C-alpha cells in the first residue's frame, strides 16, 4: 500500500511541477448555463475532475457574465488564463481570433470543430451515431407511427442530431413520420435556454400525433420532458443521462461524454502533451451512447434491445452508411 501511495504522489508531483506556478484554466460556459442537466453540466464535471487531479485555478465565465462587448470579456479571461476551454458552437468564430492574439496560451473547444491553429484543439462528438440509435429506438417504440425532433438552434452540430435521428428512424421504418422544429434560427442562441418554448413546441408535436420526441436543445429540453410527462408520452434526453429527470417518461438519453473529453483534453495539456487538431469521440470509444434506460427498460422488448445492439455494431463496423439524404417525403419541417 505504501508503494502504491508513493507512486501516486510521485505521479502527482510530476504532473504539477511542469508549471512554474499554479496554472489557470478559464471555462466559458455555453448559452444554457450551468444547471442545464445537459451539455454544460456534463462538460463541467470533466473539468472539475481534472482540477482535482492537477490543482489548477478555475475561472468560470457564465453567459450572464458576458456583456455587450463579448470579445473584450473573452480577452480579459484569456489574459488571466493559461488554458481557455469553450463549450458550444456560439464561440466557433471568436476562438480562433483569440488564439491568434494569444499565441502562448492554449485554447480548447468542446463539442464542435473550430478553425485549426497551432494552439487550438477541439473535441468533437459523433452525435450522428448516437442519434441514429435514438431514432431507431423511437421508430421501434412509436405507437402512432409519428415521432418528433426539436433542435435548440438551427446550426450544423444540432442538424447532425436531427439527421442521425431521422436516418435511424427511417432505417427501421421507412414509413415513420418525423416532425421537425427548431426553437430559434442560426445566430440566435436563446433556443438553448427557453423552457417555455420547448414545452409549447413539444405540446404542438404531441397534438400532431407524435408520441416520442427527441430534443437537442440544452435547458430548453427540460420543457420537452415536462410536456411529455403532462401528456403521457415519451421524450428522449440528450447530452447527459436525463432518464431520472422524469422517471418512466424519458425513454432513453443520447449521452455525449463531454466529461471524458474535457478531462482528457485538459489532462494532455497539464502533462505537457498538448496536440493541436481535433479528437473525435463516437460509439466505438463510448464517446456517445444511449443510456441504460433504467426506468423504461421493462417497457422495451428484448427483441428491440437486441436489434438496437445489432444496429450499434453495424455503425461501428461501417456497415450503415452516413450519406443518406435528409428529409424524405414523410418529413415535416415547419
CA dihedral 161, 166, 172, 176 (to 10 degrees): 140
Please check whether residues 73 and 162 belong to one and the same domain: no
2 band by pLDDT with thresholds 50, 70 and 90 = very low
pLDDT band at 19; cut points 50, 70, 90: low
Are residues 8 and 143 both part of a single domain?
no
Are 225 and 326 in a shared domain? Answer: yes
The Cα 281–Cα 301 span in angstroms is 29
CATH code for position 48 = 3.40.50.2300
DSSP tag of 285: T
Q: What is the pLDDT of residue 324?
A: 46
Same domain for 97 and 144: no
What is the strand order of the sheet 106-111 is part of? 57-61, 24-28, 83-87, 106-111, 120-125, 277-281
The per-residue pLDDT for range 85-115, each reduced to its tens digit, is 999 888 888 999 999 999 999 999 998 888 8
Query: Average pLDDT of the chain?
Result: 89
- Percent of the chain at pLDDT > 70 equals 89
Query: Predicted confidence band at 334 (pLDDT cuts at 50, 70, 90)?
Result: very low
Helical ranges in the chain per DSSP H: 2-16, 39-54, 70-80, 94-101, 127-141, 156-172, 195-207, 221-231, 258-270, 302-316
Question: Each residue of 164-175: pLDDT tens digit?
Answer: 999 999 999 999
pLDDT at position 65: 75
Q: Are residues 64 and 176 in the same domain?
A: no
Give 1's pLDDT tier (boundaries 50, 70, 90): very low
pTM of the predicted structure, to 2 decimals: 0.80
Distance CA 180, CA 162 (A): 8
Same domain, 116 and 200: no
Residues 109 and 168 in one domain: no
Percentage of residues in the chain having pLDDT higher than 90? 75
Residue 208, domain extent: 127-255+289-333
pLDDT tens sequence across 251-265: 999 999 999 999 999
Given a cut of 60, is residue 139 above it in pLDDT?
A: yes
Q: How far is 244 from 195, CA to CA, in rounded Å?
A: 18
The rounded distance, in Å, linking the Cα atoms of 288 and 316 is 12
Beta bridge partners of 83: 25, 106
C-alpha cell at 121: 484543439
The two beta strands, 250-256 and 288-290, are antiparallel
Q: Are residues 153 and 211 in the same domain?
A: yes
Q: List pLDDT tens digits, range 37-49.
A: 788 898 999 999 9
* Shared domain check, 203 and 311: yes
| Residues 145 and 95 placed together within one structural domain of the fold | no
Q: Which pLDDT does position 99 carry in this prediction?
A: 96
What's the number of domains the chain is made of? 2
**Same domain for 314 and 243:** yes
If asked whether residues 184 and 304 sit together in one domain, one would say yes
Amino acid at each position: 500500500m505504501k508503494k502504491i501511495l508513493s507512486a501516486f504522489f510521485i505521479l502527482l508531483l510530476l504532473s504539477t511541477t511542469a508549471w512554474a506556478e499554479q496554472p489557470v484554466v478559464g471555462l466559458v460556459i455555453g448559452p444554457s448555463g450551468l444547471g442545464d442537466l445537459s451539455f454544460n453540466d456534463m462538460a463541467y464535471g470533466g473539468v472539475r475532475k481534472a482540477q482535482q487531479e492537477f490543482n489548477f485555478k478555475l475561472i468560470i465565465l457564465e453567459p450572464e457574465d458576458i456583456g455587450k462587448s463579448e470579445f473584450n470579456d473573452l480577452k480579459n479571461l484569456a489574459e488571466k488564463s493559461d488554458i481557455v476551454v469553450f463549450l458550444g458552437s456560439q464561440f466557433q468564430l471568436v476562438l480562433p481570433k483569440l488564439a491568434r492574439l494569444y499565441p502562448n496560451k492554449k485554447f480548447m473547444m468542446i463539442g464542435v470543430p473550430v478553425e485549426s491553429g497551432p494552439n487550438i484543439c477541439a473535441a468533437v462528438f459523433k452525435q450522428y451515431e448516437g442519434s441514429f440509435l435514438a431514432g431507431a429506438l423511437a421508430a421501434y417504440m412509436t405507437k402512432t407511427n409519428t415521432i418528433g425532433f426539436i433542435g435548440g438552434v438551427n446550426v450544423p452540430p444540432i442538424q447532425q442530431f436531427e439527421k442521425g435521428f431521422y436516418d435511424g428512424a427511417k432505417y427501421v421504418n421507412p414509413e415513420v413520420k418525423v416532425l421537425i422544429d427548431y426553437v430559434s434560427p442560426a445566430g440566435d442562441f436563446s433556443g438553448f435556454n427557453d423552457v417555455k418554448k420547448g414545452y409549447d413546441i413539444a405540446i404542438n408535436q404531441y397534438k400532431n400525433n407524435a408520441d416520442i420526441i427527441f430534443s437537442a436543445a440544452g435547458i430548453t429540453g427540460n420543457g420537452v420532458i415536462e410536456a411529455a410527462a403532462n401528456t403521457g408520452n415519451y421524450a428522449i434526453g440528450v447530452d447527459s443521462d436525463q432518464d431520472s429527470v422524469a422517471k418512466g417518461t424519458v425513454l432513453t438519453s443520447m449521452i455525449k461524454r463531454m466529461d471524458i473529453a474535457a478531462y482528457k483534453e485538459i489532462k494532455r495539456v497539464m502533462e505537457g502533451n498538448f496536440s493541436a487538431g481535433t479528437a473525435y469521440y463516437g460509439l466505438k470509444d463510448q464517446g456517445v451512447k444511449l443510456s441504460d434506460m433504467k426506468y423504461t427498460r421493462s417497457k422495451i422488448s428484448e427483441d428491440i434491445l437486441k436489434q438496437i445492439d445489432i444496429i450499434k455494431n453495424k455503425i461501428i463496423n461501417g456497415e450503415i452508411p452516413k450519406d443518406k439524404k435528409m428529409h424524405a417525403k414523410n418529413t415535416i419541417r415547419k
